[in-house]
Amino acid sequence: MPDLAFDVALLALGIGVLYYGAEWLVRGSARLAATLGVSPIVVGLTVVSFGTSAPELVVCTVAAMGGNPDLAIGNVMGSNLANIGLILGLTSIVRPLEVHARVVWREMPLMLLVTAALYPLLWDLELSRGDGVLLLFALVAYLVFVFQSVEDESPEILGEYEEFMKASTSSTSVRVHPPDVFWVLVGSACLVLGGYCIVEGAVQVGSALGVSQVVIGLTVVAIGTSLPELATSLVAAARQEADIAVGNVVGSNIFNVAAILGATSVLAPIPIPAAVLTRELPAVLLMSLLLFPLLRTRWRIRRWEGALLLATYIGLAVYLV
């Protein structure tokens, strides 16, 4: 029991360090991008989405390189479930979300397409280096799409992103490069340290409790690495910036599949448990599909619809466990 308590504490410490690391990385990266003249909406749809997905990237890389591939695939599947069911569910319960940004509507089918594309890639029960390269190409195509789409966005939405980025990066009045680089470096270091602690703690806790690494990745690790997305979406909803809340989740889900699984499998091919094709991946597809009819009702997620998303997430999590 003392060893189990230490492993749980190590896991909790890792989640805490990971959360602050992601926050500092997002803050520094967003300010650097703004200094370089990148549009706030591009920063919000790419830099912020990637920054809030950085914990998953670090955990998956550490897990795969350390011989724990089940934890890596479980973390991505669980994070994408949590992003839609837990984060959008809770956020829309706090404040109903009404989406106006055309770029977010266009991103949603891409999220579904990228998720569905995992089926042929995982069919041989391995995510090979070649599969990883294909996913990284898909990431590049997505980034090109975002840069082209923002040109058609309305001035109101552009202003919404500009206000959000100003509020999110105004914690310090210094506007020169060294402090921003410092936050990026410190955040990155915390991500690595937190990711290592999470993987070590999760593997040991799973072994002690007789629970598979996929389940640990789907639940505790996935929720822990999704905390930056939760914080970003809740802040955006509180400011009545629903486009940013939904765009952050959709963008992060695309990054989780294309960037994280792509980069991780290029570094080390990931063997895939057969159950992922019949349980975890269908669950993520179901949750993604559920978002379409909810947002089609005047592109609004009402409180009862948020409760439905949250209940569906809880039900799927219980079923998968």
pLDDT band for 27, please (50, 70, 90 cuts): confident
Compute the average pLDDT of residues 234-255.
83
Residue 69: per-residue pLDDT: 83
Distance CA 92, CA 259 (A): 27
User: Does the global pTM surpass 0.75?
Assistant: yes
**Half-sphere exposure (Cβ direction) of 76: Cα atoms closer than 13 Å:** 30
Note the pLDDT tens digit of each residue in 32-54: 777 777 777 777 777 887 888 88
* pLDDT of residue 167 exceeding 80: no
Tokens of 261: 């699984």
> Mean pLDDT: which of 42-46, 208-212, 246-250, 296-300 is highest?
246-250
Residue 84: per-residue pLDDT: 92
Residue 1: per-residue pLDDT: 53
* pLDDT of residue 172 exceeding 50: no
Residue 285 neighbours by CB distance under 10 Å? 16
pLDDT band for 83, please (50, 70, 90 cuts): very high
106 closest CA partner among 147, 53, 61, 63? 147
Mean pLDDT lowest among 87-96, 125-134, 146-155: 146-155
Domain boundaries, the chain: 2-320
Compute the average pLDDT of residues 191-206.
84
Distance CA 147, CA 313 (A): 32
Is 69:216 a contact under the CB 8 Å cutoff?
A: no
Residue 174: per-residue pLDDT: 41
CATH code at 2-320: 1.20.1420.30
Strand partners of residue 300: 98
Chain-wide mean pLDDT for the chain? Answer: 83
Distance CA 242, CA 274 (A): 37
Note the pLDDT tens digit of each residue in 184-197: 888 888 888 888 88
Give the C-alpha distances (Å, rounded to integers) separating 139 from 144, 159, 242, 255, 257: 9, 26, 24, 7, 9
> Mean pLDDT: which of 56-60, 134-138, 291-295, 314-318 is highest?
134-138
Residue 176: per-residue pLDDT: 43
Residue whose structure tokens are 């506007």: 175
* pLDDT of residue 170 exceeding 70: no
More reliable by pLDDT, 220 or 295: 220
Compute the average pLDDT of residues 73-96.
91
Residue 178: per-residue pLDDT: 54
Distance CA 256, CA 218 (A): 14
> If you compute the radius of gyration of the chain from its CA atoms, what whole number of angstroms results?
18
Residue 262: per-residue pLDDT: 94
Distance CA 5, CA 201 (A): 10
Is 191:18 a contact under the CB 8 Å cutoff?
A: yes
Residue 80: per-residue pLDDT: 94
**Half-sphere exposure (Cβ direction) of 111: Cα atoms closer than 13 Å:** 30
Strand partners of residue 244: none
